Chains A and B, each alone.
Chain A
């Protein structure tokens, strides 16, 4: 029925031109679509942030003594602290550390100043922790930042997590 109608239209002088116009425009749209959909296929697709490949060389480790991770908390109220010893066991210098302190009440993010760690070196740091605001420490997350040429790259995938946090003696 549809084909019959289409044939009738093609025989009708008045209807021919819109039909041809439609077919022409469809052809144009298909061609345009094909061009756009194949355009720039060879363009390198930057899914990763430049420099992130260097993150593969980054490796952090919490030092352990007698199988006790060297991460401690102490103090009370707003005068609390967290102390940790972390070392760079990777093959790339770490420029800075970001520490996430996930507390019972809230999360605190600290960008540590002077926290660069050369390959094979440890870093011993103490950061303030407000027990009133953030609650007891549930987890610590250390995110390394590295420098690739002049670019600062955050290696979020290489973050180190620690949940065994002991009270300071």
Chain B
């Protein structure tokens, strides 16, 4: 009978409803009680095989996520910056490369976001970007060993391109391919992912302190050789990333259908035209213009600060407390843990106080971070300052999202989101080199003071201006 069902199913593949199969089998002379029994047994079989396929898929995704999180921890951005510094890069070069990394990431994210909507990107390609990301760690470790700043810079940039492509494409694949499984997967990843990353950061910090860059001589089976902590940490990051990319390339996904054939160049052209159109849409709304200016300055402060925070902590406390890399690991681990509770605090306060005050509040919290690095550089204060700064960034993120809903029409909002990320990168071409040059010229402490003051004295008044303009507009 199973055979009969399968035959019937094959015949009616286009409309393979059980009802149709039933009619077909009845026409072939089978008893309806037998048909009912067989159909129910068959659908149970199908359901269980579907379930096992789904759980296999979830397992694969989970495995991929697991290795991704290990890779994030062992190859943390702060560790990368410290190693870049140890390789011999100046503050100026570190700032420039980090700025370039952000600009590239933003442009690539925007491009891939739009491109993946119209063109199918194979999972093998997504997997390959993950593997490239993994290999970039190996090259960074090599560059550190060889004291080659150009190699490190190139590896860092290629790694960022790989990371962004991998992250973005994976997200879109995740969005389109795993509707049912997503909720369960996300729930578990949120719970365990941070813990895995946190543990990896700590372990990486410990390894790099235990086996410093000078190399620790080890004797094994009569062979004497040197081991380097950064090499181990980055090897783990690379292997994890490569495994994650490899697992991903084996996943079966239901990708979106190709809407139209479009080359990358055509896509770029379309996006450039959209950008011009969108600018004209929201340049009429002054509130949005001020909001964009405030965002540009905030992201600039974040980018420049994140390039140097780790280096500063490492250099200031390298002989104290938990030792160099572990100090950095502990501080950023505490900060990462804010992700557990920050969204809850933000949502609750946004309801209580409103979006505008939250934006001002978030900016001031963010300003506390660099100002603490300047005024009170001891590990406890810096840990608290970093924690508060991360909460501030989360507050701004949520408030900004809520505010755009309030301030803009549907049309403006669409234009805003598809344009602003690209638009904010343009001033960075000038701002980031200036900031990096200031770091090189005056050192990190004065730079942190400058960053804190920019947030408190420039961005906060801009948000006040938005409040005033918005109020005026509402009255009219």
Contact = CB atoms under 8 A, between A and B. Distances in A.
A42 B296 CA distance: 38
A52 B319 contact: yes
A5 B381 contact: no
Given A25-B358, A37-B381, A48-B319, A15 B471 contact: yes
Mostly, the A contact residues are helix
Nearest to B452: A33
A9 B464 CA distance: 12
B130 interface: no
Contacts of A29: 361, 364-365, 368
Contact of B376 (A25, A38, A52): A38
A22 B380 contact: no
B298 to A, nearest CB: 15
Size category of the binding interface on chain B? 35 or more
Interface in A1-46: 2, 5-6, 8-9, 12, 14-15, 17-19, 21-22, 24-26, 28-30, 32-33, 36-41, 43, 45-46
B342 to A, nearest CB: 15
Given A21-B353, A36-B372, A109-B214, A26 B472 contact: no
Interface residues of A, number: 37
A111 interface: yes
A22 B364 contact: no
B388 interface: yes
Nearest to A36: B384
Interface in A30-83: 30, 32-33, 36-41, 43, 45-50, 52
A78 B230 CA distance: 30
A138 B171 CA distance: 55
Given A46-B317, A47-B316, A39 B356 contact: no
Given A30-B364, A36-B388, A21 B354 contact: yes
Contact of B320 (A8, A22, A47): A47
Contacts of B357: 18, 21-22, 24-25
A41 B467 contact: no
B384 A39 contact: yes
A46 B319 contact: yes
Mostly, the B contact residues are helix
A6 B467 CA distance: 10
B69 to A, nearest CB: 29
Contacts of A47: 316-317, 319-320
A39 B376 contact: yes
Given A47-B319, A49-B319, A109-B215, A36 B381 contact: yes
A22 B319 contact: no
B448 to A, nearest CB: 12
B436 interface: no
B371 interface: yes
Contacts of B215: 109
B468 A36 contact: no
A120 B346 CA distance: 67
Contacts of A111: 217
B380 A32 contact: no
A70 to B, nearest CB: 27
Given A22-B356, A22-B357, A25-B360, A39 B471 contact: no
B354 A6 contact: no
Nearest to A46: B320
Nearest to A19: B467
A100 to B, nearest CB: 10
B122 interface: no
Contact of A6 (B319, B384, B468): B468
A38 B380 CA distance: 10
A50 B319 CA distance: 8
Contact of B378 (A9, A21, A41): A41
A38 B381 CA distance: 8
B435 interface: no
Contacts of A39: 376, 380-381, 384
B344 interface: no
Nearest to A6: B468
A33 B361 contact: no
Given A25-B353, A29-B368, A33-B371, A43 B472 contact: no
A142 to B, nearest CB: 15
Interface in B308-366: 316-317, 319-321, 352-354, 356-358, 360-361, 364-365
Contacts of B320: 45-49
Contact of B365 (A2, A14, A32): A32
Contacts of B376: 36-41
Contacts of B243: none
A111 B376 CA distance: 39
A80 B135 CA distance: 38
A50 B320 CA distance: 8
Contacts of A8: 471
B193 interface: no
B467 A37 contact: no
Nearest to A29: B364
A6 B472 CA distance: 10
A43 B367 CA distance: 23
Contacts of A50: 319
Interface of A: 2, 5-6, 8-9, 12, 14-15, 17-19, 21-22, 24-26, 28-30, 32-33, 36-41, 43, 45-50, 52, 109, 111
12 contacts: A2-B468, A22-B356, A24-B353, A24-B357, A25-B364, A29-B365, A37-B371, A39-B381, A40-B380, A46-B317, A46-B320, A111-B217
Rank and list the top 8 A-B pairs by shortest CB-CB distance, nearest first: A46-B320, A49-B319, A29-B364, A25-B361, A22-B357, A40-B380, A21-B357, A21-B353
Given A5-B471, A25-B357, 13 more contacts: A9-B467, A22-B353, A24-B353, A25-B353, A25-B361, A36-B388, A37-B381, A37-B385, A43-B380, A45-B320, A45-B378, A46-B321, A109-B215
